[in-house]
Amino acid sequence: MSGPPAWAYEKPHVTAPDPAWPARGAELCARLAVVLKPWLVDGVEHVGSTSVPGLAAKPVVDVMASVSDIDVVVISAGAALAADGWAYVPPSLDVASPWRRFFVLPDATGEHRVAHLHVLPAGHPRWHAQRTFRDALRADPALAAEYAALKHRLTTETTDREAYTAGKTAFVTRVLTHHGVILPTE
């Protein structure tokens, strides 16, 4: 029996902005829109730091899909996603985010994550929140610079991905609240 994949324990690290990230995000969105077409409601969008031009980020492209039923997508599209290289992370391992179904696209070595797919139920508040946060960073270079500084600091303080993510929560909440978005506690 083999253990968890190496990418499951990859330490967070932030890199300089890569001008290829937007094209990579667009490519992934287009491919996923084809695979997920029967269930898509609001489409597939590139979100996260790699979707903000000029923003330092973990070199992992985050995309999200709004679908009619997240569990049906796992059952019905899981094989097609796996054939395209996506690894499903079951809810039992994604306990912090029960509102989504999550897939990781590792690199050819299986050592590093290159993309995440967040499958959300249509109408879920996280869809609007992710887009609002991305758009706020795109519109405000000073805010994006503040976020980059926070992310760099966090990578010096922790090697745990969950702790790194948790360390960004107050900043994300502040930005969303400023834009009128309040996420439910889940």
Residue 184 within any structural domain of the chain: no
Residue 86 within any structural domain of the chain: yes
Residue 183 within any structural domain of the chain: no
Does the structure show a pLDDT above 60 at 12?
Answer: yes
Does the structure show a pLDDT above 80 at 162?
Answer: yes
Task: Residue 17: give its domain's CATH number.
Answer: 3.30.460.10
Number of H helices, E strands in the chain: 6, 5
| Mean pLDDT calculated for residue range 155-184 | 93
Does the structure show a pLDDT above 80 at 149?
Answer: yes
Average of per-residue pLDDT values in the chain = 95
Residue 165 within any structural domain of the chain: yes
Task: Read off the pLDDT band of 1 (50, 70, 90).
Answer: very low
How would you classify residue 3: left for phi > 0, otherwise alpha for psi between -120 and 50, otherwise beta? beta
State the DSSP H helix or E strand holding residue 68, giving kind and residue range, or none if neither: none
Per residue in 59-72, is it b (16+ CB within 10 Å) or e — as a string?
bbbbbbbbbeebee
pLDDT value for 95: 82
Q: What is the pLDDT of residues 24-83, one digit of tens each?
A: 999 999 999 999 999 999 999 999 999 999 999 999 999 999 999 999 999 999 999 999
Residue 138 within any structural domain of the chain: yes
Note whether 54 and 144 are within 8 A (CB). Answer: yes
Residue 24 within any structural domain of the chain: yes
Nearest to 86, CA basis, from 162, 31, 42? 31
Please give the residue range of the domain that contains residue 34. Answer: 6-178
For 100, the token pair is: 């989504």
pLDDT value for 186: 63
Q: Specify the range with the lowest mean pLDDT, choosing from 3-7, 60-64, 108-112, 118-122.
A: 3-7
Residue 131 within any structural domain of the chain: yes
Task: Read off the pLDDT band of 4 (50, 70, 90).
Answer: confident
| Mean pLDDT calculated for residue range 148-154 | 96
Question: How many domains are there within the chain?
Answer: 1
Nearest to 105, CA basis, from 121, 118, 93? 118
Residue 186 within any structural domain of the chain: no
What gap in Å lies between CA 150 and CA 155, rounded to an integer? 9
